[in-house]
Amino acid sequence: MAPINVTDINENKAYVPAKKALPEVETESANGNEKCKGYSYETLLETANFLLSRITIQPRIGIICGSGMGSYWNEGSLAESIQDGVCIPYEDIPNFPVSTVEGHHGRLVFGKIEGAPVVAMQGRFHYYEGYPLWKCCLPVRVMKLIGVKTLIATNAAGGLNPDYKIGDLMIVKDHINMMGFAGNNPLHGPNDERFGPRFPPMNKAYNYEHRKIAKEVAKELNINNMVREGVYTCLGGPNFETVAELKMLKMVGVDAVGMSTVHEVITARHCDMKVFGLSLITNECVTSYDHDMEANHEEVLDVGRMRQDILRKYVSRLVDRFSQIEPESP
């Protein structure tokens, strides 16, 4: 089978061979007082073509693996269950960041789940690692260029809703972009219409049909008693939240709190990708000053391991069902 390139998938006229690294594009803001950095469309085409030259499938579904799905370990995880997997380390991919979080695999895995072609990120990039949001979201745009139509974004989150229990799964129905309130947005800077519009709507950020299917699948797997639906928010991290911060978030309707996902979803919707979000509730948010418990990263990993078997079965079934409503490649 001949290697695929981005021109074949997206009918783009631009095609250039991949290089190991290219400089970031730097442009001035409208008022001339600020420098904005980002990779150009052509640069990301090079990254996409590099990946397509090393695989023989065209993934339609992209998965960002959070804790419990293979971001920290392989055994028993969703990432490990990908059939005919081709693994490409981030450090080998032109223009890709490298994960700095201890234990992250840091690689893309191409293959099939339930017969559906997928690409999975084992390890994501976080704002608290020092990466700007546009760079954290770079893999999402690359996924778009290689043919991905649907993004499944998973994460570990603290449960702020008092009805949530540790180990529950939350289907994300909406988010509150707290970082965006401060002007920190992955779409900040000059817009390239080849990715999407200058002012993308977000009122349908999380696909309704996918959320409906996810509830049906939870019943089929007899896990509907642990599957919730709620509102997620992302804070910058790396510190966990204060009691006052959590009380404020609860007042505005947040059900779960994490340090990722929102900016990835914004970028995916800007690219006209369908999005499904899923949070694993790994700890209970402390909203009382009289409470002795403190949040820590170890419990996040422990709960991820505890729920990885359920997550693998649940997300695998979702991939199968989502792929059935996704149109075939031309």
In a domain, 62, yes or no: yes
Each residue's pLDDT tens digit, 47-90: 999 999 999 999 999 999 987 566 555 555 788 889 999 999 99
pLDDT of 30 strictly over 70: no
Residue 13 lies inside a defined structural domain of this protein = no
Residue 23 lies in a domain: yes
Rounded CA separation 111/115 (Å): 9
The whole-number average pLDDT for the span 101-111 is 79
List the one residue out of 218, 300, 320, 213 whose CA is nearest residue 256: 300
CATH of the domain at 95: 3.40.50.1580
Q: What is the pLDDT of residues 230-288, one digit of tens each?
A: 999 999 999 999 999 999 999 999 999 999 999 999 999 999 999 999 999 999 999 99
Tally of structural domains, the chain: 1
* Structural domain includes residue 157: yes
Question: What pTM, to 2 d.p., does this model score?
Answer: 0.89
Confidence of residue 26 (pLDDT cuts 50, 70, 90): very low
Domain annotation covers residue 4: no
Query: What are 32-35's contacts with CB under 8 Å, separation 24+?
Result: none
On the question of a cis peptide bond just before residue 238, with omega within 30 degrees of 0, the verdict is yes
Instruction: Say what percent of the chain tops pLDDT 90.
Output: 72
Is 32 domain-assigned? yes
Evaluate whether residue 14 is within a structural domain.
no
Q: What is the reported pLDDT for 9? A: 65
Identify the domain containing residue 95 by its residue range: 19-325
113, 7, 55, 78: which is closest to 280 by C-alpha?
Answer: 78
50 in a structural domain: yes
C-alpha 184/C-alpha 284 separation (Å) is 27
Question: Which residues are marked as active site?
Answer: 67, 104, 126, 128-129, 156, 259-260, 283, 297
